[in-house]
Amino acid sequence: MANSPTGESVISRVVRLLSAFDRDLPSMTLSGLARRADLPLTTTRRLLEDLVLHGLIERLPDGDLRPGMRMWELAARASRALNLQELALPFMEDVQATVHQHTTLAVLNQGAVLYVERLSSPDSKLNAAHIAQRMPIHAASSGLVLLAYSPPAFQDKVLSAPLAKVTPETITDPLLIRKHLAEIRQRGYVALPGIGVTEWTGIAVPVFGANNEIAAALNAIVPRDEADIPYTVPALLTAAHGISRALKSTGSFSRR
């Protein structure tokens, strides 16, 4: 039900408030939150009363606001991503022992790549592919793998939309992307340097779930001048096969 001059529902405004927080700005003042969510201060204050009451937003001792643990708790109770994380972690640890940089697990969500797990080297300088971070599908090796095994109608939808350059090497030509998608299906992996972060190469392979549908992409992210594809791909494929078997045995991550 909408009760605002713009006709926007209460739920839509709550989502705008919760979405205003991110890794770069995990907490903020009431007025800062109102500005970032583009809502009137009085509306923000009124909605926050209930959000704080139910623990979805917490008020810090200095008065700043941040997402509450209650929001994480509710999301985790029946999260497909959490089940995927739990099944995948032992296999990801094997890959991480091989690459010594970053190992990520990503899914498609609302037209973007969403990273649901990441293992990293403590001294790595990569500031990307964090858990809960999103990337454009065409600007990530994980995204291209996920797209390669998606239905043709979804591929057409993605490639018919404007494709922005995230780096100078991001591929935005739909015909060239389709060529890469065909190569991914033939080879079973992709390794393209610099398409999401200039200095890094993502080497990604598919993970399949119930009904042999694409469920996730397993990805090693390494400095582009240290990418050893013949060494890394077998480790990724072995781990991806293990995760796929686990998903299929539990019937997890079917799109049905």
Helix (H, G, I), strand (E, B) or coil at 172: coil
Domains of the chain in start order, with CATH, are 10-74 (1.10.10.10), 79-250 (3.30.450.40)
Per-residue pLDDT of the chain (256 residues; tens, 9 = 90+): 445 556 689 999 999 998 898 877 889 999 999 999 999 999 999 999 999 999 999 999 999 999 888 887 777 665 677 788 889 999 999 999 988 889 999 999 989 999 999 898 877 777 666 777 899 999 999 999 999 999 999 999 999 999 999 999 999 999 999 999 999 999 999 999 999 999 999 999 999 998 889 999 999 999 988 889 999 999 999 999 999 999 988 765 544 3
Would you state the structure tokens that stand for residue 109, as one six-digit string? 């969500």
Would you state the structure tokens that stand for residue 205, as one six-digit string? 């392979």
- Rounded CA separation 216/105 (Å): 7
Cβ neighbours, 10 Å, residue 199? 12
Residue 144, CB-side half-sphere exposure with 13 Å CA sphere: 32
pLDDT of amino acid 79: 65
pLDDT of amino acid 113: 95
Would you state the structure tokens that stand for residue 246, as one six-digit string? 């686990």
pTM of the model: 0.79
pLDDT of amino acid 42: 93
